[in-house]
Amino acid sequence: MSIERVLVAGAGAMGSQIAMVCAFAGYHVTLHDLDPTALDAATAALRERTSSMVAKGRRTAEEVDAAHARLHTASTLPDDADLVIEAIVERLDVKRAFFADLDTRLPAETILASNSSSLVPSSMASAIRRPDRFVNLHFFNPALVMPCVEVVRGPETGDATAAAATAFVESLGKVPVVLAREIPGFVANRLLNAVRDEAIALYEGGYADVDAIDTAARTALGYPMGPFELMDLTGVDIGYLTKKARFDETGDPADAPSATVSRLVADGHLGRKTGRGFYLYDSTGARVGKGI
């Protein structure tokens, strides 16, 4: 399976940067979005981001110009690509309809991949006639920076597809983490969630306060930031919604959002973006005290 032309669908936070990563690696890339303003915004953001790479000496101006020359945008779907990386809205019905449509447009050998952060490959591959050519390629945010890409095999993903997807990730200069079987959340986010759940259990059990737990994560485990600091940074509501969606699906009390996180969300204390979460922040974003 030779990959030369990549179609990246969805020009939001993830798709725009995934497209740029592919263009830097020498692929001919079409970045597609239904919304032309999203394409304009992605182009402007990528121009700014790549100019700053040149200013910092991370890329040469020639490398950046060559990559932009390989990257095109389109508000209609092209009818040819060797690999599709889908990064559209995180809704199963929308993704299934998108892949079913692509399935009829693109050659039978084209590999279809989803960047979904929660949906397992089988939930999307059952909408198409080539489930053996379907795989998840899960990039991390920001995709231009983060090395890891999870390659998630569904029960019907073919060996050739998994091998081609893994080789593709390596060709991007990224580090593939291959899952032999699908599981919701994949590997990295499951590890993160396990640490987060334990941190909350320790706090709610009255064993240590938020600052002590974060300090242990940084100074004993070498984490760049503690679990509570990270929740404040990414948004307390994001973690809440992820857990709530899982709980709605499984009904398992262990999957339900914790009392502490539920209370913060109900009170509108969503972390740095609202000035208060597990910690309190001033108008410059500096941490000034406890939030709970």
Ligand X SMILES: NC(=O)c1ccc[n+]([C@@H]2O[C@H](COP(=O)([O-])OP(=O)(O)OC[C@H]3O[C@@H](n4cnc5c(N)ncnc54)[C@H](O)[C@@H]3O)[C@@H](O)[C@H]2O)c1
Binding residues for NAD(+): 10-15, 33, 90, 95, 117, 141, 273
Q: Read off φ and ψ for residue 50, nearest 5 degrees.
A: -75, -30
Q: In terms of DSSP H, where are the helices of the chain?
A: 13-24, 36-55, 61-70, 92-105, 121-125, 159-171, 188-204, 210-219, 227-234, 236-250, 259-266
CA dist 80 to 5, 30, 242, 264, Å? 8, 10, 35, 48
**Does the annotation count 117 as an active-site position?**
yes
- How many H helices and E strands in the chain? 11, 10
Q: How far is the CB of 92 from ligand X (least distance, A)?
A: 10
Distance of alpha carbon 275 from alpha carbon 288, whole angstroms: 10
**Does the annotation count 115 as an active-site position?**
no
Cβ neighbours around 172 below 10 Å, total:
21
**Smaller CB separation from ligand X, 34 or 292:** 34
**Smaller CB separation from ligand X, 15 or 277:** 15
Q: How far is the CB of 150 from ligand X (least distance, A)?
A: 10
Q: How far is the CB of 211 from ligand X (least distance, A)?
A: 26
**Does the annotation count 138 as an active-site position?**
yes
User: One of 86, 116, 138, 258 is an active-site residue; which one?
Assistant: 138
Cβ neighbours around 283 below 10 Å, total:
6
Give the tokens for residue 242: 């992820």
**Smaller CB separation from ligand X, 141 or 219:** 141
| Cβ proximity of 83 and 39 under 8 Å | no
**What is the contact surface with ligand X in residues (CB under 6 A)?**
9-15, 33-35, 38, 87-90, 94, 98, 115-117, 139, 141
**Does the annotation count 28 as an active-site position?**
no
**Smaller CB separation from ligand X, 17 or 161:** 17
Q: How far is the CB of 62 from ligand X (least distance, A)?
A: 29
Q: How far is the CB of 14 from ligand X (least distance, A)?
A: 3
Place of tokens 């890339």: 29
Place of tokens 């709610």: 204
Q: How far is the CB of 50 from ligand X (least distance, A)?
A: 18
**Smaller CB separation from ligand X, 17 or 157:** 17
User: One of 118, 122, 189, 193 is an active-site residue; which one?
Assistant: 189
User: One of 115, 116, 136, 150 is an active-site residue; which one?
Assistant: 150
Binding residues: 10-15, 33, 90, 95, 117, 141, 273
User: One of 16, 114, 116, 117 is an active-site residue; which one?
Assistant: 117
**Smaller CB separation from ligand X, 89 or 163:** 89
Distance of alpha carbon 26 from alpha carbon 66, whole angstroms: 9
Residues forming beta bridges with residue 9, ordered by sequence position? 32, 86
Burial per residue of 184-216, b for 16 or more beta-carbon CB atoms within 10 angstroms, e otherwise = bbbeebeeebebbeebbebbeeeeeebbebbeb
Point out the residue whose Cβ comes nearest to ligand X.
12
Which residues are catalytically annotated? 117, 138, 150, 189
